[in-house]
Amino acid sequence: MARRITLEPTGSGTAPENLTVDYRAELNDQQYAAATANPGALLIVAGAGTGKTRTLVYRLSYLVETGLDPRSIVLLTFTRRAARDMMTRAASLLDGRCQRVRGGTFHSFCMQLLRTHAPALNLSPDFTILDASDAADVLSMLRTRGGYPDRADRFPNKGTLQSMFSDTVNRDRSLSEALNDRYPQFTHLHDDLRELQDTYRAYKAEHHMLDFDDLLRRTHELLSQNDTVRQQVAARCRHVLVDEYQDTNAVQADLVQQFTSVHGNVTAVGDDAQSIYRFRGADFRNIFRFPKQYDNARVLKLEQNYRSTQPILDLANHLIDHANRSYDKTLFSDADTGDLPAIVPAADTAMEARFVGQMVAQLREQGVPLRDQAVLFRSSHNSYDVEIELGKRNIPYVKYGGTKLSEAAHIKDVLAHLRVAENPDDAAAWNRILQLIHGIGPKTAQDLIDWLTDDDHSAFVVDEQGHFAQRYLDTLTQLLNTLRSIRPDEQPLTEQMEAVLTYYRPLFEEAYPDDYPKRESDLEHLAPLAARYDSRQRFLADLTLDPIELTALDQEGATDDEAPLVLSTIHSAKGLEFHSVFLIHALDGTLPSQYALDEPGGLDEELRLLYVAVTRAEENLFISYPMLQTSRYYGDTMASRSRFLENVPESILEPVELVEAPPESTSDALPESPEPEALPTPDDDNTSAPKSDLSEPEDGLPF
């Protein structure tokens, strides 16, 4: 065994006396301890609203100011925007050196590593990336080609197959384990599914494609099986900062260990109480395993909340105390006064919507802008009645948690053309753009793909030997000419985009005859987005890895004088804050979801989801639910409030009764806002705006 000599730490050790930033003055005691901690393994358990991002920014600044080369620091987040914003804030705090930190999402960082070290995996560095729907389409094609539906009465559909195979990667387990745990109805198909999974992997390799999970899996494979590469990568990672550590999956947690295997310096920040992405493979247990996985790991807590009033925090603390497992922390605030959170039962969904609409208007009249108010819900369809009510009252709103830009069919059409130009072997993209042509169906498309991706074929040229039908030959020729013109990535990306759109628009109108004028506005956003990039490859990767919501684009180009009210799923609202929050449809069977009741750990995750919703509120929190639900299948049924809200003392959660105005006070106009004594009213002077979540290109440097 080799003799070991332990080197004394350099940089970020004992703080010099001439630091530019006065960390002691700028941070509270808990934040200061975390930001200036010595090198090694550090876990910062940061409660909601306790200045997690601020602490991580000061930690980053401190590491740079005490001698660490910023190019040797890796900042891993779950959105590019989060990484870029942290580096920008650190740069404004210290200086431009912080902009040289290597920052980005796990997937984008792994993508850069794979492009750099592709030969070590016999991988083409020009691979393209499949999003979840692309991956499902490929599986659908392979499923049909292999005749799998003919082998069983009920074979999984493409979406289930994609989720199933993704589960094996994100949870680092075998197909058998995934089937037994989540898909027991398909356990008898194990051998067929195993065969299809192997076929899928081989097909991706043949056509130089990776899906989301491959970015993590292949990087883990690279570092685990090639010790030389692992040491090269880890040697450049002198300190790794990880945001939202509670949202990491099994592979990501292992990758952090690989990245830090040389220097052993890691700062992970997270909150076990805000782990709500189990459906994506996130494992909140990672944050509990951290102290055991790293030698001499320190665990520090952030508990002083700067967002919410103490009555709101009392409810949050009460809820999370009922979790089966959590770090012992109690949120507290200097804002120890304020109205109690309100629980508001409504007769039905229509009354609940009227309550929300009326209170939103009333709050606006009292000085709380719409942009500082939010309506949150478990699932997107929960807000339909509220949306109708807001429309009646002419209250503008924006809804988050819907379709992403790169998930919209017409946007995927355009991007598929660019993907083929980038990687002519991308069979999934070829399949999409070929079937846009009238006269080309799945069988003809597959024959053309085999011909177009043949090694002996000259790309994007219709030769005389090809067997083409006249019904599509002219359009196919036009397509190949367009692709050939943009194949070299030398002309500006906006010009490439315009060439594709010129070819695509006639097909677009034919493919979406009912609503193409509405979809047209989405296409208009593509050129400005493309103008931010000087690389087609990076543009495609960014839109795939960190997509923008269509509703966010709508707001980016809006010219309304008044910023809109925010409607959002709880998942999409994580990280945001609002003066006043309305949590609607707080029903048992909705929150918690009925499906969660049958999954191990599902109930605890739903409790954490409620905790996240509650802690978005700064001063006002209204939790409502309809006592009567109407279903097309079951008619009218009585409903119960969420089990998480049963038996909460009235000293923590105040009951509010909705009362109809007397008949003589009604008219054909919209009802005036009543002023029931039980309803909380806000202070007029607190109008802090919610944070935006638009995605833009990251500035982090790849390896």
In the annotated binding site for ATP, the residues are 46-53
User: To which H or E segment does residue 392 belong?
Assistant: helix 384-392
- The rounded distance, in Å, linking the Cα atoms of 268 and 288 is 12
Q: Residue 576 corresponds to which tokens in the numbers above?
A: 């945001």
Q: Residue 409 corresponds to which tokens in the numbers above?
A: 């069919």
Neighbours of 229 (CB within 10 A): 17
Asked whether 179 and 193 are in contact (CB, 8 A), the reply is yes
CA angle at residue 130 from 165 to 466, to 5 degrees? 115
- The CA distances from residue 372 to 342, 570, 617, 674, in Å, are 18, 16, 10, 22
- SS3 (DSSP) at 637: strand
- The rounded distance, in Å, linking the Cα atoms of 630 and 622 is 23
> What DSSP state is assigned to residue 98?
G
Contacts of residue 170, Cβ cutoff 8 Å, sequence gap at least 6: 213, 216, 249, 250, 251, 280, 281
User: To which H or E segment does residue 458 belong?
Assistant: none
Long-range contacts of 661-666 (CB under 8 A, 24+ apart): none
- The rounded distance, in Å, linking the Cα atoms of 105 and 127 is 18
Q: Residue 253 corresponds to which tokens in the numbers above?
A: 């947690």
Neighbours of 628 (CB within 10 A): 14
- The rounded distance, in Å, linking the Cα atoms of 180 and 284 is 21
Q: What Rg, from alpha-carbon coordinates, does the chain have?
A: 27
Burial status of residue 256 (CB atoms within 10 A of its CB: 0-12, 13-18, 19 or more): buried
- SS3 (DSSP) at 515: coil
- The rounded distance, in Å, linking the Cα atoms of 379 and 399 is 12
Among 371, 344, 339, 317, residue whose Cα is nearest residue 583: 344
- The rounded distance, in Å, linking the Cα atoms of 280 and 132 is 11
- The rounded distance, in Å, linking the Cα atoms of 503 and 478 is 8
> Identity (one letter) of the amino acid at 321?
D
Strands (E) located in 329-417: 342-348, 373-377, 397-400
Among 684, 135, 152, residue whose Cα is nearest residue 367: 684
Contacts of residue 537, Cβ cutoff 8 Å, sequence gap at least 6: 126, 422, 489
Give φ, ψ of 332 to 5 degrees: -140, 160
User: To which H or E segment does residue 384 belong?
Assistant: helix 384-392
- The rounded distance, in Å, linking the Cα atoms of 291 and 307 is 29
Query: Residues forming the annotated binding site?
Result: 46-53
Q: Residue 502 corresponds to which tokens in the numbers above?
A: 């010129």
Beta bridge partners of 580: 373, 620
Q: Residue 17 corresponds to which tokens in the numbers above?
A: 């006396």
- SS3 (DSSP) at 533: coil
- The rounded distance, in Å, linking the Cα atoms of 689 and 329 is 28
- Rounded to a whole number, what is the largest CA-CA distance in the chain? 92
